[in-house]
Structure 1
Amino acid sequence: MLQCPITDEQWLLVGHLIQPQGRLFWGRPARDPRTILDAILWVVVNDERWHRLPCSFGPPQTAYMKWLQWRRSGVMDKILALLSDDEDSLGRRSTN
């Protein structure tokens, strides 16, 4: 089962997929991608609606927009696959 927030080891597996591609010199600073990913995973794991996202994750609109972008580009599928593979390998290690 996926967990939220993700561990440092899990972040090392998936962080390179969603790192910002450069710094914009106008507008608001970008949110931390790890916090956004934690927010998305919170919604997915808890099977909740976006508007119920706790304030500690930031605005639900930001998380939802990133979820849409990452889902449409296929990044979210890669992240979930990597995290579920990691969970499977951790489960196998603990049962041996």
Structure 2
Amino acid sequence: MDRDVLTDAQWAKIEPHCLGKPSDPGRSGKDNRLFLEAVLWIVRTGSPWRDLPERFGNWNTAFRRFRDWREADVFRRIFDALSDEPDLEYAMVDATIVKVHRHGQGAKGGLRARPLAAPKAA
């Protein structure tokens, strides 16, 4: 069962910032989307590169390609391209997420700051 993380809309924004193209020889441009899915799999699971599933290809090739992209600041360009429209769905704070303490709701009594009792001499 193959599950992709990237939607077609996200991939359309990311694709122009990737290195290489499918016609390039070697590991530089062959199926950039599958490679990015492999990187996201590593990030999601926290697994070492050696545990990369076979459907993503050779782990060592993927790691070397990741290193090349990191050195070329490709991930920075991708981040900048995707961060122009922040998804604020998870930035909303309301009563379903955060509950107010009873003192903050206007309950009787309010704040009662009492000094500590002086230590008793024994």
TM > 0.5: yes
- The structure richer in helix per residue is 1
Q: Amino acid of the residue matched to residue 58 of structure 2?
A: P
Query: Per chain length, whose mean CA-contact separation is higher, i.e. which structure has more relative contact order (CA < 8 Å, sep 6+)?
Result: 1
**Scaled by the length of structure 1, what TM-score is found?**
0.70
The CA deviation at 1:89 is: 1.6
Runs of 5+ unmatched residues, structure 2: 94-122
Taking structure 1 as reference, are residues 81 and 91 closer, same or farther at Cα in structure 2, changes over 3 Å only? farther
Note the 1:1-96 alignment, pairs <5 A.
5-21=5-21, 23-24=23-24, 31-83=30-82, 85=83, 88-89=86-87, 91=89
RMSD, aligned CA: 3.1
What whole-Å deviation, never above 9, does each CA across 1:8-62 have from its counterpart, x for those lacking one?
11101111111525734x668x521110111011111221110111111111112
Q: Amino acid of the residue matched to residue 33 of structure 2?
A: R
Indicate if the aligned counterparts of 1:39 and 1:53 stay in contact, CA closer than 8 A: yes
What whole-Å deviation, never above 9, does each CA across 1:44-86 have from its counterpart, x for those lacking one?
1221110111111111112111110110111112224544x37
Runs of 5+ unmatched residues, structure 1: none
Taking structure 1 as reference, are residues 49 and 27 closer, same or farther at Cα in structure 2, changes over 3 Å only? closer
Q: Amino acid of the residue matched to residue 89 of structure 1?
A: D
Percent identity between matched residues is: 32
